[in-house]
Amino acid sequence: MTASAVRARLLSSVAALSLLVVVALWAGNGGDLSLSSLGRLTGLLASDLMLLQVLLMARIPLVERAFGQDRLARWHRWTGFGSFWLMVVHIVTITGFLTELWDMIVNYPGMLLAVAGTLALVMVVVTSIRAARRRLRYESWHLLHLYAYLGVGLALPHQLWTGSDFVGSTAATVYWWTLYGLSAGAVLVYRVGLPAWRNWRHRLVVTRVVPEGPGLTSVYLTGERLGELPARAGQFFQWRFLDGPGWSRANPYSLSATPHGDQLRITVKNLGDGSSRVAGLRPGTRVLVEGPYGKLTGEHYTGGPVVLVACGIGVTPLLSLLGELPYQPGEATLIYRVRTEAELAFRSELEWFARHRGVRVVTLLGPRADHPSWLPADLAGHGGAATLRQIVPQVAASHLYVCGPEAWAESVRGAALEAGVAADRLHTELFSW
């Protein structure tokens, strides 16, 4: 078992143990099977899950390296919905009728703040439902999602003043204060402090903006002491370009070239307000970043055949990986899925990799199929696993890197597993939020 897998299991065990600790503290404080007591328990479990949510997305490097952003984001979403429904049960079982609810809000200390926090969390949950997310711009969704921190913070006072399970014993008080302190500290250190320090130290600026194709733009950046920036091929940053209104909204873009210590490059597809501004950036524009993030790196590559499967703009992190992975000539295959010939990007770079490093480039052109498949419509009937084996006969012995939209990447993952690729050799990055 790799060190990363050991870390992942250990951290998962700690998260599960925290829920058991909550139940044990509740039982030790007189917990029973009465409705009001079970209401207390659901409130405690909701609070624990909310704080675990915060820790999941606090960008803690140890956690990032163990799980990767894809898994953390999925768990964050599931934990959020679980916490929300536990909170609903808590409110219903504790307050009972509307008259009692009104009495608690008006007369119990901290309850008005708790109501405000609950409303903030309801807004976050509603806008996190897939149907709602599809109707929102990424920038709007991201801004609304930040209200989750406000909701968690506003819930604390009512637990302190009216929550007997929070202050009913020394063990409970120590546990809850420790968990709140860790959550707040992780956000302050890794979401605020570390990015601020790195931006002050590296002072990134735009040097060139280069059109790569229809709606596709590359941005080249330089800064100070970039060799000290712990960025690897395949990773991404959250980017803020200080070019005017809207600079405060961050957007995630992957490195599209291997970082060499003196220059970074990202390539952005025009998909929204934030990405459309990139084409108009001017040299000299200051840039703020958070990161690097992501686990789609060569950390676990042990040599031998490697297959990289990209859809559309998902080619960008895989292109950077082609420059870093130590494969031998003839060992690397890039499968590049796009709808039309006009959408093919980085032709000259791909030709360079083919000529100088022996990379085999396979392009799959055509519209998407009318059923879930990673293949274009004219090939979808052949079967995803069979086509993968046909393109790369040695695929079962390969490391496989996948980047693209969520449903498409899951289709590739299923085909790869069916074709015999070992799960620990399958590395994915999903373009979703």
Do 208 and 143 have their domain in common?
A: no
- Based on the fold, state whether residues 183 and 37 are members of the same structural domain: yes
pLDDT of residue 282: 93
203 CB-near residues (< 8 Å, 6+ apart): 223, 224, 286
Q: Say if residue 226 is in the same domain as residue 313.
A: no
Same domain membership, residue 58 and residue 153:
yes
Alpha-carbon torsion, ordered 373, 376, 378, 383, to 10 deg:
-30
| Domain identity same for 134 and 149 | yes
Domain harbouring 235, CATH code: 2.40.30.10
Taking a C-beta distance cutoff of 8 angstroms, is the pair 249, 142 a contact? yes
Question: For the chain, what is the domain count?
Answer: 3
Mark which of 237, 265, 293 sits at the end of a domain: 293
Same domain assignment for residues 245 and 376: no
* Shared domain check, 150 and 20: yes
CA of residue 234 relative to chain centroid, distance: 14
251-254/236-241 β-pairing: antiparallel
Are residues 346 and 332 part of one domain? Answer: yes
Are 113 and 134 part of one and the same domain?
Answer: yes
Last residue of a domain, one of 156, 177, 198: 198
Q: Which of 106, 89, 113, 110 is nearest to 167 (CA)?
A: 110
Last residue of a domain, one of 293, 308, 341: 293
At residue 157, the pLDDT reads 65
> Do 87 and 118 form a contact (C-beta atoms < 8 A)?
yes
In CATH, what number is assigned to the domain containing residue 349? 3.40.50.80
Q: Could you report the per-residue pLDDT of 188-223, keeping only the tens digit for each? A: 999 999 999 999 999 999 999 998 877 889 999 999
Give 10-residue mean pLDDT values along the chain (433 residues): 69 89 88 81 88 87 80 82 85 65 56 68 72 66 68 68 71 88 93 95 95 88 92 92 83 90 89 73 95 88 94 92 94 94 90 95 89 85 90 95 90 94 87 56
| 388 Cβ contact list (under 8 Å, min separation 6) | 395, 415, 416, 419
Q: Which domain holds residue 181?
A: 3-198
- Separation of alpha carbons 332 and 304, rounded Å: 9
* Burial label, 13 (beta-carbon count in 10 A; 0-12, 13-18, 19+): exposed
pLDDT score for 100: 58
Q: Is residue 85 domain-shared with residue 215, that is, in the same domain?
A: no
Give yes or no: residues 376 and 396 share one domain: yes
- Which pLDDT score, from 0 to 100, does residue 69 have? 76
Q: pTM of the predicted model, to two decimals?
A: 0.81
Residue 210 shares a structural domain with residue 270: yes
pLDDT digits (tens, 9 = 90+) for 103-139: 555 555 556 666 667 777 777 777 777 666 666 666 6
